[in-house]
Amino acid sequence: MPDWARLPLAIAAGLLMALGQAPWDLWLLALAGLAGAMALYAAQPGPRRAALVGWGVGFGYFGLALNWITEPFQVDAAVTAWMAPFALILMAAGLALFWTLAFWVGAQARRAPLLGLVVAWAAAELARAYVLTGFPWGLVGYVWEKTPAIQWVAVLGPHGLTLATLALAALAAGAVRGAALRRWRGAALQAALTAGGLVAALAGGQAMIPPLQALEGQPVVRLIQPNAPQTQKWDRAWMQFFFERQVEFTAAPSHGSLPRPDLIVWPETAVPTLLHNAEEALAVISEAAFPARVVLGIQRLEDEAFYNSLALVGQGAEVLQVYDKHHLVPFGEYMPLKPLFRRLNFSGLAARAEGGYSAGPGPQLVDLGAGLGRALPLICYEAVFPQDVNGYAERPDLLLQITNDAWFGEASGPYQHLAQARIRAIEQGLPLLRAANTGVSAVIDGAGRVLVSLPLGEAGHLDALLPPPLRVTPYSRTGDLPALALLLLLGAALAVWGRRV
């Protein structure tokens, strides 16, 4: 293969892989792109050229899958729009370095280069979830999100499913390469294993889907979606309008034959004032919600530190519990390396002062009251991290996400965020309530079924019966340790095997 063709083909394979993510959900094309990336890697004569292929695949993949990253820079376009293309290019190029290293390491396994790549690539995706606070958005295993095979995350976890997905693609690439070299017997065997693996993934996932639960007698929840565009959300001319819209939705009659809600959920930063100044606003909200409790997003100030918080409000505007977001968005909610960026006069998109928000102490459960149980709160970005959702010793009764996806625009970002929230529900076997400022708000059961939802870009509210918890999943007990242990074992086996060449 000529050197000039190597990088464009790698980027094309990455672009094809990205089509497996929401909102495109073209999982068969994505698997073809993944197999193509594997085949392109296998055709390279050495680690350096393999690393270049890895970077190209990653650049194409992240460049398309994360195209929404430009949207926050359009909110104050006159000041920050110029940063958008640089943000996307640097983000894609930087994340691609994880895959560059994986392809280089994989190529060291000369006796089994495809197996080496499978292990190294899966390890790189695991590292991406943790290194520098982590960014596990768009993991390779999420290609199955719209298929029954996504149920395997309840057993294998997202990284175990990524490892299995890469192994399946390696078999397909091996079959293609074997056919190209006219090694028909080996090619036929690998093609059969690929087909068998695909059937096992889909059929096994389908068999794991539990039947719909009976919901009679369950508490009623209401999700509020004000649909406040980010350009207007903090505009003083519009803040009162969106607040009153949420109050109106809170006080509205129940849908159909359902009784008044037991719980009402507002989205992230839904109240346009700080918590210590919100007595009047909370009184209006609690009166409109009577007799229900309200969960809402609000900012608060304590000891000169700002927090992005969730508050549980009871009758009489009593604040029953507060949770502070602990996994913050770099450059969006806080500034890493503050002294350096202060000298460069660069404040990013951080919401408050020079350093943005402060991080809360960590995950905690919120007791919603009798019948509703205890919820694990997730504020926006926190639903992206399987290890955070899996990190609490006591099992909650539900997951509760409040978010403001207006930052992500209306193309791919909100749908990918919803998809990852749905995967968290499957991993834990727990229902998830999702109240999003601009959508998609949804009630999701422990099998990942979206039972009812409000579409993107629509103002409204929905009432639904709260699904009970499903089974305790293997992943909720073990977390990422089995996937890590298997990767270490495979890596050690490859290293020992390689020394015997």
Note if 325 is an active site residue.
Answer: yes
State whether residue 2 is helix, strand or coil: coil
Tell me the C-alpha distance between 195 and 168, whole Å.
9
CA 59 to chain centre: 19
Tell me the C-alpha distance between 373 and 369, whole Å.
6
Task: Tell me which of 71, 125, 145, 268 is the catalytic residue.
Answer: 268
Give yes or no for a cis peptide into 291 (omega within 30° of 0).
yes
End-to-end CA distance of the chain: 27
CA distances from 91 to 14, 72, 351 (A): 15, 14, 20
Q: Scanning the structure block, which residue is given the tokens 């899958």? A: 65
Task: Tell me which of 125, 145, 380, 382 is the catalytic residue.
Answer: 380
Tell me the C-alpha distance between 294 and 298, whole Å.
12
Instruction: List all residues 6 or more positions away from 117 whose beta carbon is below 8 Å from its beta carbon.
Output: 38, 41, 102, 103, 106, 107, 109, 166, 170
Question: Strands across the sheet with 319-324, in order?
Answer: 319-324, 305-313, 293-302, 263-265, 220-225, 460-465
* Of 127, 99, 111, 119, nearest in space to 40 by CA: 99
Note if 394 is an active site residue.
Answer: no
Q: How many CA atoms lie within 13 A of 24 on its CB side?
A: 19
Residue 450 token pair: 């979206």
Q: Are 458 and 227 in contact (CB under 8 A)?
A: yes
403-436 CB burial, b ≥16 within 10 A, e <16: bbbbbbbbebbbbbbbbbbbbbbbbbbbbbbbbb
Task: Tell me which of 233, 325, 382, 427 is the catalytic residue.
Answer: 325
What one-letter code names the amino acid at 186? G
Residue 419 token pair: 């998809």
Strands (E) across 159-288 are located at 220-225, 263-265
Question: Strands across the sheet with 374-379, in order?
Answer: 366-367, 374-379, 398-403, 432-436, 441-444, 450-454
Tell me the C-alpha distance between 366 and 387, whole Å.
19
Q: Which helix (H) or strand (E) holds 216?
A: none
Note if 338 is an active site residue.
Answer: no
Phi-psi region of 260 (alpha: psi -120 to 50; beta: other; left: phi over 0): beta
Tell me the C-alpha distance between 35 and 175, whole Å.
10
**Active site members:** 268, 325, 380
